[in-house]
Structure 1
Amino acid sequence: MARIPLFSPESMTDEQERVYRAVVDGPRGTVVGPLRAALHRPELADRWQRFGEILRFGTTLPARLTELAIVVTARRWNSQLEWHIHAGAGLRAGLSQDVLDAIKVGAEPIFGDAEEADIYEFARQLQQTGNVAEEVYQRIMQRWGKVGVVELAAVIGYYTLVSMTLNVHEIPLPDDVAPPLDPIPHSSAGPAHGETLPTLARCSFAPKPFSTVTVSPSARSEHAAASPKSQ
């Protein structure tokens, strides 16, 4: 049960219902998560939903990379509902189940895609230390440009806000969903400190092998005969 009253459409003020309808009629299609709490201040909820819509659905980054940054954030903050929503969205966007499973249990994810490895490491470092190493920052900048690196940092920051809001107000999972995340103890603090945030594992990058094609001697001869002498 949530710590704060959650609204049904029937119990909303006109201003709350206006924001509610804007969300339902947008790409989310439903009001879930932190917006259920934010509706206590409709002006905040309205700006929140517009900001979140841009960062989830309107960045220049591919959806699978945005969702990867979000699930790293959800895992860092043990945000059950955020993980539930975005692990599924990440899988549909093209993330592998093996990668999601590794992040979920705090193990080392092994990426066959350099883009995903860089996004993971950017998100991991920012969540773990509050900053990102220069070489990681520059790899994102080179691949996605100034806009992409700004968007990525904003996605991670925004979904940290989402995680904290979900956690502090105890916004519930759907009735038929069990909590997907088990606590992973922080490496530098024991139970006496009340610390249950995970230390996220570094990733590995294992490039996918290129497929090889065997060309018969006769085919090579035919190709040589048909090719121009100079290019």
Structure 2
Amino acid sequence: MDAEQRRVHDQIVSGPRGRIQGPLRAALYNAELADRWQALGELLRYRTRLTRRQSELAILLTGRACQSPFEWYAHRQEAEKAGIESAVIDALLAREHPQGLDADDDAVVRFAAELNRFNSVSDATYAVALQRFDAQTLVELTALVGYYTMVAMTLNAHEIPLPAGVEPAFPLPQHQAVQDAAAAPAPQRPR
């Protein structure tokens, strides 16, 4: 690391994360990018109006929607620490809507699910979420989903490895795409 990379590294490990893992390993190639990335991530993860539980629900849902094994692995642990029940985590892993959520958690999950699936949120879902939260919280939730989409893409594209001995909960999307392409007939190209 050069001096600027070392400064950013030391700043990250002395903050709430306590270590460099995941996408910041890749972002650190550009010290300014890593510095701004970690600051935005710290804000969205630790200093919004969302509860830790609500944040982790949205992050898990986003990690699964983006098929990011590392993001799923890291935030499954955080979700468990935040008190999210195993049945809820298992439902998100299976891409099912969890049962038994309170109204606030349900609004977060529905909002994040639509945002991940459609890149937007229906008027009805937005209205329900706005009844549960204020506009600032919905902007923060949207930014959280967007941020963790960027995280997932970085983890996937650079194949940031899981810790030794940890099996992925699901394959990387490109690996599935390669398997699907191998099984399918070759597309006909225009001549």
Rounded Cα–Cα distance in structure 1 between residues aligned with 2:156 and 2:7: 26
Q: How many residues align?
A: 178
Decide whether the 8 Å contact of 2:156 with 2:172 is kept in 1: no
Decide whether the 8 Å contact of 1:140 with 1:148 is kept in 2: no
User: Offset at 1:192?
Assistant: 4.3
Decide whether the 8 Å contact of 2:69 with 2:172 is kept in 1: no
Decide whether the 8 Å contact of 1:105 with 1:182 is kept in 2: no
Decide whether the 8 Å contact of 2:56 with 2:78 is kept in 1: yes
Rounded Cα–Cα distance in structure 2 between residues aligned with 1:183 and 1:97: 23
Match of 2:133 in 1: 144
Rounded Cα–Cα distance in structure 2 between residues aligned with 1:175 and 1:62: 31
Matched, 1:161 2:140: no
Matched, 1:113 2:96: no
In our comparison, the structure showing a higher alpha carbon Rg is: 1
Q: Could you say which structure has the higher helix fraction? A: 2
Distance 1:173 1:43, change over 3 A: same
Distance 1:131 1:16, change over 3 A: same
Where 1:61 maps in the other structure, the secondary structure is coil
Rounded Cα–Cα distance in structure 1 between residues aligned with 2:172 and 2:151: 18
Q: Which of 8, 20, 24 lines up with 2:13 in the alignment?
A: 24
Alignment RMSD (CA, Å): 1.9
Match of 1:98 in 2: 87
Structure 1 residue runs without a partner (length 5+): 1-11, 185-189, 195-231
Where 1:136 maps in the other structure, the secondary structure is helix
Q: Which of 61, 66, 70 lines up with 2:55 in the alignment?
A: 66
Match of 2:187 in 1: none
User: Offset at 1:94?
Assistant: 1.9
Match of 1:8 in 2: none
The normalised TM-score by structure 2 is 0.88
- Superposition map of 1:45-64 within 5 A: 45-64=34-53
Structure 2 residue runs without a partner (length 5+): 174-178, 184-191
Q: Deviations over 1:149-193 (max 9, x none)?
A: 000000000000000000000011111211122579xxxxx9349
